[in-house]
């Protein structure tokens, strides 16, 4: 449980640092619009509930292979999903890399601060 709390703290601080970068803000906005368009499409075309549509739109872009139990049924939905995944997966991947870099940079900065404090105490 402690490791989860520490990881969550690093994630929040990494997000905070990432949002200060214009590139990350642009990626986040683009990804938000992609997920919003997917949610609206699946809600309207497939008739899924809002939460189901958003869940499918988000989970399908994360490279984990999670089984959602939701599938596009019409040919138009299948074509949209193929294009949606090609565009959205790339944007999601770049955003996750940028966020990961911020978290790692933050961790390295924490370790450097600890080393400097130890050096100053001597």
Per-residue model confidence as pLDDT tens digits over 8-55: 888 888 788 888 888 888 889 999 999 999 999 999 999 999 999 999
For residue 81, what pLDDT is reported? 92
Both structure tokens of 102: 């911020």
Of the candidates 122, 121, 39, 119, the one whose C-alpha atom is nearest the C-alpha of residue 84 is: 39
Calculated CA dihedral for residues 15, 16, 21, 26, nearest 10 degrees:
50
Cβ contact 89:30 at 8 Å: no
Structure confidence by residue, pLDDT tens digits, 52-84: 999 999 998 887 777 778 889 999 999 999 999
Considering the domain delimited by 22-111, tell me its CATH architecture.
Answer: Orthogonal Bundle (1.10)
Query: How far apart, in Å, do the first and last CA atoms of the chain sit?
Result: 34
Residues 6+ apart with CB under 8 A from 24: 18, 95, 98, 99, 102
Predicted pLDDT at 122: 62
């Amino acid at each position: 449980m402690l490791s989860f709390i520490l990881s969550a703290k690093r994630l929040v601080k990494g997000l905070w640092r990432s949002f200060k970068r214009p590139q990350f803000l642009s990626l986040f906005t683009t990804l938000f619009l992609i997920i919003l368009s997917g949610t609206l499409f699946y809600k309207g075309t497939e008739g899924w509930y809002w939460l189901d549509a958003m869940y499918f739109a988000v989970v399908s872009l994360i490279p984990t292979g999670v089984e959602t139990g939701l599938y596009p049924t019409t040919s138009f939905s299948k074509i949209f999903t193929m294009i949606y995944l090609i565009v959205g997966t790339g944007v999601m991947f770049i955003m996750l890399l940028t966020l990961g870099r911020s978290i790692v940079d933050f961790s390295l900065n924490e370790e450097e601060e600890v080393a400097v404090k130890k050096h100053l105490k001597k």
